[in-house]
Structure formats: structure tokens, C-alpha cells
């Protein structure tokens, strides 16, 4: 057998272990997408909803009703006087229009002036009815809407979720898997063969980077398809950053897995490393909300470096060359973790 065949078989082992375990596939690929869908919906910029308006039935109520129905912003109900009062009280309609018979007769707007919806309804209903009655606006205007892709919460969120995913994939995918292999004595069994131990570690990292590649494509593809995100040409740069981060986080995963053979211990260590970064490293909200005094620490964390770099290349269209400090932080965390882990690693 050639030198490389050991590496290749070990790489196949890790990839097979991964793709043949539906639960792992879900947590790595499905869960972050579900999280993005959930959070994206919860925090989406809502268009102003339809205003519900009641019109009291009368001889001339049809004209009022058709004037309002011609306008897309209203949901119009024709109501008997007593029903109209009840629905207004219950908040089912924001405003009730009373239209006494006779051309030019005074309209009645009945609403709660302390309720913003009522005030909004008052302005919009009056505007619509006055125009229908022939009012013209003395000044021309145009509207510019400011919900552009790139400035929404979901644009902020997707790179953060991607970074979080790369971190947890490295920590769990490496740390958890190695401890599990140690607990079933497979590491010890492998150590009794002429297997090159460097091949084992390289194959572990390579398989992790392969999975990370799929994660990037899935997460960003999802953002583009479902949330119309624009990546300003930053897709390749983001992929490169995620591959580097996957290797770096593999080192950290290796470090937490150097000694123990207890799944509980490594789970605790992984959470100890990851949870603080999920909070402070700008996954769900900007890390700049933390006080200036702790900013140097927050920025030195590898997940902060990854998230900030991803947002810079994806949202602001910056070059990788502008991210050298953050890349350096990722490399340093990975390199130090690897060196220490290799010194401490136990095969049995």
C-alpha cells in the first residue's frame, strides 16, 4: 500500500461516519438553517399592516365604502351602528366612519386618539376620502423606501450563524468524535497499527474542512434564495475564511479532546469554550455593544475575528487583504491549539 492510502482511508472513515449518521447531518446542516428561518421571520421588517375600518350602514355608505375599497391599505367592513361600536371597543376595527345621507353632509370619524392605529387610520381614511371627493395635492413628491438588502437584521444574522456553525462543527466534529473513538478503544487499536499518526490528524482536519465547505454553500445559498441577500462578490472570500476557521477550530477541538475518554467531560469543555463566544462574539447581536474596556478581549476571540471578517467581505465588499489581523487571530488560535494538543494527546 502506498504512503497516502492510510490518509485516504482515514479521510473516508471520517466522512462516512459523518454522512451515515442522520442526526449529525441534521445538527450540522439542518439546524442552522431552521435557526435562520426562525430568527429571520421573527425579526423581519414588517410592512405596515392593513388598517381595519368599519363603515356604518346608511343610504350613502356605499359611496364611502367603494372609495375606501379602491385603496389597497384598508380592510373595510360594513356594520350596523351597534355592531360598529362593539367592534371598535374590541379593537377589531381601528376607526368607524359614519356617513349621513345627502351630498356634502359631514363625515363622522369615530376612533381612540390614544391608540396609534386609530390615529393612523384617521389620517389615511381622511386622506383617501378627501381625494375621492376631489382634493388635489398642491406639491408633487416621490417615495424612497429604505429596506434595502444589506441593512436588515437577517443580513447581519446569516454571517454570524455561519461563524457559529463553523465553530461548533469544529469543536463537536473533532472534539466529540475523538473522545468517542477513544472511549470505544478505536484510537488505541489504531495506535497498535503502523498508521502514521500525523495522517490520522490530517485526515480528521481535512474531513472537517470538507464539511465546512458544504456548510458555507448551504448557509449563503439559503440567504440568497430566501432572503435575497447580496454578497457583493464576497462569496469566495467568505469560503476561504470559513475553511481557514474550520482548520483552526479543529485544533481547538483536538485540544479539548487530548486526554479524557468521557463524553460528559468533553461536552462540558466544548460548551465552556463555545457558549461565551456565542454571546460576546457577535452571532446574534453586535459585539460592539460590550463595554470598551473588554473590547480588546472580545476582538481577540477567534469567533469574533471570523464573524467580523465574514461581515466585512459579505456585507461591505471588503477584500481579504483588509482582514489580515483577523486572519492572524484565527491562525494563532489554531496553531497554538495544535501544538499543545499534539504534546498532550493520548491514544489510550
Partner 1 sequence: MRWIAQYHPPPMNSAIRVRELRKTYPGRTPVEAVRGLDLDVAAGACFGLLGPNGAGKTTTIEILEGLLDATSGEVEVLGLRWDRDATALRERIGVTLQETKFTDKLSVLETLELFRAFFPRGTAARDAIDMVGLGEKSASHVVTLSGGQRQRLAVACALVGQPDLLFLDEPTTGLDPQSRRQLWDVVRDLRQQGRTVLLTTHYMDEAEKLCDQIAIVDQGRVIAAGSPAELIRSLGGDHVVEFAFASNGSRADSRGDEAALAQLRALPAVRSARAEGDGYHLTVAEPHVALPAILDRSRALGTTLTRLSTRHASLEDVFVSLTGRHLRDE
- The residues that touch partner 1, with contacts defined as CB under 8 A, are 1, 5-6, 8-10, 12-13, 16-17, 20-21, 184-186, 188-195, 348
Comparing CA positions, the residue from 142, 69, 54 lying closest to residue 99 is 54
Q: Which residues contact 188 (CB under 8 A, 6 or more apart)?
A: 182, 347, 348
Residues 196, 198, 204, 205: what is their CA dihedral angle, to the nearest 10 degrees? -150
Nearest distance from C-beta of residue 14 to partner 1, angstroms: 10
Pick the closer one to partner 1 by CB: 35 or 186: 186
Nearest distance from C-beta of residue 328 to partner 1, angstroms: 37
Q: Which residues contact 152 (CB under 8 A, 6 or more apart)?
A: 44, 45, 227
Nearest distance from C-beta of residue 1 to partner 1, angstroms: 5
Pick the closer one to partner 1 by CB: 72 or 194: 194
Nearest distance from C-beta of residue 248 to partner 1, angstroms: 26
Pick the closer one to partner 1 by CB: 119 or 191: 191
**HSE-CB of 67 using CA atoms within 13 angstroms:** 19
Pick the closer one to partner 1 by CB: 122 or 182: 182
Pick the closer one to partner 1 by CB: 263 or 335: 263
DSSP 8-state symbol, 195: -
Cβ proximity of 55 and 97 under 8 Å: yes
Nearest distance from C-beta of residue 188 to partner 1, angstroms: 6
Residues 232, 236, 241, 246: what is their CA dihedral angle, to the nearest 10 degrees? 130
Classified as helix, coil or strand, 99 is coil
Nearest distance from C-beta of residue 206 to partner 1, angstroms: 15
Pick the closer one to partner 1 by CB: 11 or 74: 11
Q: How far apart are CA 207 and CA 204, in angstroms?
A: 5
Amino acid at each position: 500500500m502506498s504512503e497516502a492510502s492510510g490518509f485516504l482511508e482515514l479521510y473516508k472513515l471520517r466522512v462516512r461516519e459523518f454522512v451515515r449518521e442522520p442526526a449529525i447531518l441534521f445538527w450540522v446542516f439542518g439546524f442552522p438553517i431552521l435557526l435562520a428561518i426562525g430568527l429571520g421571520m421573527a425579526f423581519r421588517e414588517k410592512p405596515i399592516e392593513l388598517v381595519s375600518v368599519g363603515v356604518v350602514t346608511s343610504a350613502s355608505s356605499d359611496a364611502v365604502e367603494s372609495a375606501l375599497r379602491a385603496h389597497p391599505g384598508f380592510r373595510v367592513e360594513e356594520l350596523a351602528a351597534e355592531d360598529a361600536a362593539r367592534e371598535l371597543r374590541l379593537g377589531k376595527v381601528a376607526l368607524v366612519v359614519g356617513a349621513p345621507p345627502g351630498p356634502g353632509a359631514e363625515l363622522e370619524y369615530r376612533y381612540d386618539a390614544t391608540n396609534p392605529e386609530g390615529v393612523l387610520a384617521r389620517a389615511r381614511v381622511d386622506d383617501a376620502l378627501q381625494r375621492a371627493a376631489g382634493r388635489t395635492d398642491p406639491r408633487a413628491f416621490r417615495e424612497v423606501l429604505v429596506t434595502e438588502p444589506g441593512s436588515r437584521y437577517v443580513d447581519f444574522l446569516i454571517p454570524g450563524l455561519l461563524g457559529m456553525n463553523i465553530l461548533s462543527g469544529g469543536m463537536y466534529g473533532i472534539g466529540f468524535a475523538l473522545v468517542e473513538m477513544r472511549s470505544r478503544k478505536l484510537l488505541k487499536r489504531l495506535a497498535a497499527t503502523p498508521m502514521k499518526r500525523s495522517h490520522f490528524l490530517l485526515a480528521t482536519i481535512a474531513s472537517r474542512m470538507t464539511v465546512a465547505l458544504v456548510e458555507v454553500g448551504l448557509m449563503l445559498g439559503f440567504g440568497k434564495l430566501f432572503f435575497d441577500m447580496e454578497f457583493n462578490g464576497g462569496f469566495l472570500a467568505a469560503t476561504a475564511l470559513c475553511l481557514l476557521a474550520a482548520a483552526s477550530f479543529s485544533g481547538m477541538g483536538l485540544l479539548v479532546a487530548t486526554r479524557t475518554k468521557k463524553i460528559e467531560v468533553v461536552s462540558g469543555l466544548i460548551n465552556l469554550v463555545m457558549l461565551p463566544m456565542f454571546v460576546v462574539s457577535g452571532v446574534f447581536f453586535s459585539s460592539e455593544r460590550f463595554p470598551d474596556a473588554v473590547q480588546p478581549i472580545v476582538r481577540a476571540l477567534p469567533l469574533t475575528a471570523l464573524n467580523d471578517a465574514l461581515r466585512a467581505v459579505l456585507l461591505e465588499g471588503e477584500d481579504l487583504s483588509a482582514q489580515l489581523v483577523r486572519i492572524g487571530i484565527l491562525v494563532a488560535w489554531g496553531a497554538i491549539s495544535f501544538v499543545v494538543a499534539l504534546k498532550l494527546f493520548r491514544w489510550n
